[in-house]
Amino acid sequence: MVELSNLQRQVLHHDTSIGLKKVDSARQALEKLNPHLIVHTFDKRLSDEELETQIIKHTLVLDATDNVETRNQLNRLCYRHKIPLVCGAAIRMEGQISVFTYQDSTQPCYCCLSALFGETSLSCVEAGVMSPIVGIIGATQALEAIKVIADYGTPKVAKLMLFDGLKLSWREMGLPKSKQCPVCS
């Protein structure tokens, strides 16, 4: 359900959306922006089989989920079908972007990255997030997705891009492939 606390960072929802299911509010907002869209929504956590059915219909998956478990599920299924995955995350005044194309066996996958996090990770509810950070990360994800789909420029594959909103700066780090990764090794 859309809550008041969502409005500052989830731009598809408005005051009139409070109390609606997020999938319904988002669908309505997207259809209002572009009436030519066909939006399919799922108001449940999809099984591997259900999610795989959706993934194989697409050229790229843009991950804007809010938990590591779902990102790992997307990664595993995208890796299986070699469908590029562009991941983004934001919390507090920080954000991160990573691009996985699965075209080179020496490149890492998202599971190689998530293994570095450990067992504890905070949610936006617990730690908060500044809304412009979400916009910056989302816009950067969109740019990386366009670069991958259009084969234009150099997508940040096998890199972790970290955004620091307090300093208004980016850091880029190489992302190593884990020899123990259950997905790509």
pLDDT at 132 over 80: yes
pLDDT at 113 over 80: yes
Higher-confidence residue of 64 and 148: namely 148
| Residue with the two structure tokens 């920080």 | 94
pTM, entire model: 0.89
Q: Cβ(86)–Cβ(148) under 8 Å?
A: yes
**Coil, strand or helix: which one is 42?**
coil
pLDDT at 97 over 70: yes
Integer Cα distance of 12 and 167 in angstroms? 28
Mean pLDDT, the chain, rounded, equals 91
Cβ neighbors of 64 (< 8 A, separation 6 or more) are: 88, 138, 141
Higher-confidence residue of 11 and 182: namely 182
Q: Cβ(27)–Cβ(37) under 8 Å?
A: no
At 120 the pLDDT is 53
Integer Cα distance of 175 and 181 in angstroms? 13
Pairing of strands 94-100, 85-91: antiparallel
* Residue 50 amino acid letter: E
